Structure 1
Amino acid sequence: MDLAIATTLTETTFDDAVARIREALAGQGFGVLTEIDVTATLKKKIDADIENYLILGACNPQLAHRALGVDRQIGLLLPCNVVVRDSTEQPGAVIVEAMNPDIMVQVADAPGLPDVAADAATRLRAAIDSL
Structure 2
Amino acid sequence: MPYTLDETVDGAFDDVVARTEAALADEEFGVLCDIDIQAAFAEKLDVEFRQYRILGACNPAFAKQALEEELRLGALLPCNVIVYETDGGNVGVSAVDPGKLLSVVDNPELDAVADDVRERFERVLDELAA
Same fold at TM > 0.5: yes
Structure 1 residue 18 corresponds to structure 2 residue 28 = no
Q: How does 1:1-131 map to 2 (within 5 A)?
A: 1-9=1-9, 11-88=10-87, 90-91=88-89, 93-131=90-128
Cα pair 1:38 1:53 within 8 Å, conserved:
yes
Q: With the length of structure 2 as denominator, give the TM-score of the two structures.
A: 0.95
Give the Cα separation in 1 of the matches to 2:14 and 2:125: 16
RMSD: 0.9
Give the Cα separation in 2 of the matches to 1:81 and 1:54: 10
Cα pair 1:70 1:111 within 8 Å, conserved:
no
Runs ≥4 residues deviating over 6 A:
none
- Unmatched tracts of structure 1, length 5 or more: none
Give the Cα separation in 2 of the matches to 1:105 and 1:57: 16
Shift of 1:47: 0.8
Q: With the length of structure 1 as denominator, give the TM-score of the two structures.
A: 0.94
Shift of 1:128: 1.0
- Unmatched tracts of structure 2, length 5 or more: none
Q: Percent identity?
A: 41
Length, aligned pairs only: 128
Shift of 1:69: 1.0
Shift of 1:105: 2.7
Amino acid at match of 2:99: D
The structure with the greater share of residues assigned to helix is: 2
1:44-96, Cα deviation, whole Å (9 max, x unpaired): 001111110000000000110111011011111100100000112x12x1000
Cα pair 1:4 1:100 within 8 Å, conserved:
yes
